[in-house]
A and B are shown apart, each in its own frame.
Chain A
Amino acid sequence: MSDCIAMRESMPLLLTESLDPASREAAHTHIESCAACSDEWAGVRETWRLLDEMPRVEPPARVKAKFLAEIGQGEVAQTNIVPFRRRPAFKWLAQAAAVVIIAGGSYFAGHRDQRIVLPSQEARISNVIPVSAPIYSLAETRTLSSKTMSPNIEGRPDIENVQFIDADPSDGSISLGFDITQHMTVSGAPTDKSMVRLLSYVMQSEDRVSPSRSRTIDWVRDTYSKSGNADPEIAQALAKVLRNDQHEGVRIKAADTLNSLAPRVPVTAEATRDALIEALKSDPNPAVRLKAVEALARMASSGQQLDPASIDMLRQKASQNDENLYVRVKAAEALSTLSKIRPE
């Protein structure tokens, strides 16, 4: 019996192959001949194996940044660049304007001693063309029209201090303010591609603090729930947030907003549905799963078809004993709605 106790204490060492060869041989001989120790050994090995199922997690990048900053070795931020390219047309326009000014100036200089006589006529303003390209200094805040921006965001720029402005809700224009190398405000229609991409980028910027993402999603819901503003890229971005964001509060808002948008953007129905199903199936937070069920139910009631896999998932959730009670009830309600719309 004392052999057995000593043997069991040595089992972890046997697992890590830390015993000397003679002790290891003796241990295996004992285990083979002792039923109780054989059972114990099987249990210890299985426990050791199960412990390996704990995933290894990478520390967030901010930890390294804080550490290096603390010891005065902070790296220069490589992403602190203006993320937008001006459209080439602007550059050409500026160059063309410069050529006109130089040519005009030269002509004027060459003919300044000649008197120009123009026939008199009544002055009349026929058309006013607003100045579309203001001159900027590095110190001032820039306000740019989203139409002048390339919709392609380059790199992963650091966008901070995001603000939303809708000075006149009736003018169909919104503005997004943020800090890059300086404070910028981009204004334009919600449907403008640059505006859509910019909002999608802010929503998915996981390295930013969650309140910013959360506020962006609120803004997106208010803006893109309006008829005429719905955009498939916004729905796709929300589906990605629902899948990938680490903050459950942000995922809840993403599911909630998809719930508002889903009936209006049928072109993204499949991607949205997949994201909702995935959230319902495996999101660790019951509030997110609840929002996913609600969104699926709403998609069904608005006439969008749910595939058999979605219906199976709803059935599974409705009958899953260890699922959150509210999620089960909502899943059952969704199935009930479906059966009324599409009796089997």
Chain B
Amino acid sequence: MKHLSDQELMRIVQAGDFSPASEIYDRYSGRIYNFALRFLKNAEAAEDATQEVFVKMMRHANQFQGDAKLSTWLFSITANWCRDYLRKSDNKAKEAEDVLINLPAPSELSPDRTLEQRENEDLIRRALQALTPEQREAILLSRYQGLSYAEIAQISGCSEGAVKTRVFRAMETLKKALVGDLRGGDRCLTALP
């Protein structure tokens, strides 16, 4: 299976044979999981997202257009899942949401991370959470997934111009939180709530 392209694997799935499931999962699960984890800041929800995205991919394989990029389609499903999750979370009690959001991600628990790395990661995580969901989605897809604005626009269901504005606004907020005013010298570590 490893030598087959994404499109070839999906054709097999569309024919009703689910045997490429493991190979497709191995190719994309890391990217999907990390996107969901950074978007939601909740390891448990990111696991659910990853599992359900791939299940949905298999069950709705016929909706995949053969000439499209599989990654774009998978990120569309993932982004929808994450948006739904946040919407549902908004309806829950504030306390419950706090508990969910404060659950540590696995990377926080890794013994290999130095204290400084942990602090930086925590700072970035908090900075990302300070963005609007739309801005966060755009910057995560651009910075960590290397997707073009056209692909992000397709995933987010908006225009390329809107993506450009979202990424710009996100970078402004992140710069303020992570770097501060360079002319002022030190990084502004207290800019976040």
Assess the B18–A58 pair: CB atoms within 8 A: no
Shortest distance from the beta carbon of B146 to any chain A beta carbon, whole Å: 7
Assess the A282–B121 pair: CB atoms within 8 A: no
Shortest distance from the beta carbon of A300 to any chain B beta carbon, whole Å: 23
Shortest distance from the beta carbon of A228 to any chain B beta carbon, whole Å: 33
Taking chain A's interface residues, is the majority helix, strand, or loop, or is none over half, making it mixed? helix
Residues of A within 8 A of B32 (CB): 59
Assess the B113–A282 pair: CB atoms within 8 A: yes
Taking chain B's interface residues, is the majority helix, strand, or loop, or is none over half, making it mixed? helix
Residues of B within 8 A of A278 (CB): 111
Q: A46 interface residue, CB < 8 Å from B?
A: yes
Assess the A64–B142 pair: CB atoms within 8 A: no
Residues of A within 8 A of B51 (CB): 63, 66-67, 70
Contacts from A to B (Cβ < 8 Å): 8-9, 11-13, 16, 18, 39, 42-44, 46-48, 50-51, 53-60, 62-64, 66-68, 70-73, 75, 243-244, 246, 248, 278, 281-282, 284
Residue of A nearest to B106 (CB): A57
Assess the B29–A59 pair: CB atoms within 8 A: yes
Residues of A within 8 A of B106 (CB): 57, 60, 246
Assess the A46–B55 pair: CB atoms within 8 A: no
Shortest distance from the beta carbon of B186 to any chain A beta carbon, whole Å: 12
Assess the A72–B30 pair: CB atoms within 8 A: no
Residues of B within 8 A of A13 (CB): 149, 164
| Given A56-B34, A284-B118, residue A47 in contact with residue B175 (CB < 8 A) | yes
Residues of A within 8 A of B117 (CB): 53, 55
Assess the A46–B109 pair: CB atoms within 8 A: no
Residues of A within 8 A of B174 (CB): 47, 51
Assess the A47–B171 pair: CB atoms within 8 A: yes
Shortest distance from the beta carbon of A186 to any chain B beta carbon, whole Å: 31
User: How far is A182 from B179 in the complex, measured between Cα atoms in Å?
Assistant: 58
Assess the B47–A63 pair: CB atoms within 8 A: yes
| Given A54-B121, A248-B109, residue A63 in contact with residue B50 (CB < 8 A) | yes
Assess the A282–B111 pair: CB atoms within 8 A: yes
| Given A46-B182, A282-B115, A284-B118, residue A57 in contact with residue B33 (CB < 8 A) | yes
Residues of B within 8 A of A9 (CB): 164-165, 168
Closest 5 CB pairs of A and B: A59-B33, A47-B175, A55-B107, A9-B168, A12-B167
| Given A58-B30, A63-B47, residue A68 in contact with residue B22 (CB < 8 A) | yes
Q: B37 interface residue, CB < 8 Å from A?
A: yes
Most chain A C-beta atoms within 10 Å of own C-beta, residue among B117, B139, B171? B171
| Given A9-B165, A50-B124, residue A284 in contact with residue B109 (CB < 8 A) | yes
Residues of A within 8 A of B155 (CB): none
Most chain A C-beta atoms within 10 Å of own C-beta, residue among B55, B120, B143? B143
User: How far is A88 from B135 in the complex, measured between Cα atoms in Å?
Assistant: 65
Q: B91 interface residue, CB < 8 Å from A?
A: no
| Given A53-B121, A55-B113, A68-B22, residue A12 in contact with residue B55 (CB < 8 A) | no
Assess the A73–B179 pair: CB atoms within 8 A: no
User: How far is A73 from B1 in the complex, measured between Cα atoms in Å?
Assistant: 15
- Which positions 135-162 of chain B face chain A at CB distance < 8 Å? 139, 142-144, 146, 148-149
